[in-house]
Amino acid sequence: MEKHLLVIHGPNLNMLGKREPEIYGSTTLYEIDAKLKALGEMSDIRVETFQSNHEGAIVEKIQEAVGKCHGLIINPAAYTHTSVAIRDAILLLDVPVIEIHLSNIYKREPFRHKSMVADIATAQISGFGVQGYYLALKGIVGRMKDES
């Protein structure tokens, strides 16, 4: 059976490369997604990526993944600090979940220090920029292979 990894990007991440490059870098979301898919193929993992600026669309995507995906990497972006709905949807999954942030949210404004997802995620990676996505992929692929 082919392993399926879902990667969800939250609001404003579609603007990577343009939005505050001094914080988020110059790599675009398209470039991140392409590399994640290529790295997944090297590990025989199908990587599906999804981005939305809408909380409900993210919740629906997570719900659709129940019983179909073997792992989730999620950057909830601004919803990290506010979305009980996304948290509750993640609780439906019985797979490894990696919460990812490009910047170190704990070195930023105090309102960014609280994550609604951190205590239910398998792990959290923040502050490594786009490399954090690739570290998350490596870690979650390792978990998938250990559980096979």
Instruction: Determine which one of 9, 79, 101, 133 is catalytic.
Output: 101
Give percent of the chain with pLDDT exceeding 70.
99
CB 9 within 8 A of CB 51: yes
Q: How many domains does the chain have?
A: 1
Provide φ and ψ at 13, rounded to 5°. Answer: -70, -20
What is the pLDDT, as a whole number, of residue 22?
A: 79
> In the structure encoding, which two tokens stand for residue 107, read together?
């070195």
Local confidence band at 108 (pLDDT 50, 70, 90 cut-offs): confident
Q: What is the DSSP string of 30-79?
A: HHHHHHHHHHHHHTTEEEEEEE-S-HHHHHHHHHHHTTT-SEEEEE-GGG
101 is catalytic: yes
Token pair belonging to 72: 């989730």
Domain containing residue 93: 3-147
Q: Between 144 and 55, where is the model more confident?
A: 55
What pLDDT, on a 0 to 100 scale, did the predictor assign at position 1? 54
Its pTM stands at 0.93
Assign residue 28 the CATH number of its domain: 3.40.50.9100
List 9, 24, 70, 133, catalytic entry = 24
pLDDT per residue as tens digits for the range 113-135:
789 999 999 999 999 999 999 99
Give tens-digit pLDDT for 26-60. Answer: 899 999 999 999 999 999 999 999 999 999 999 99
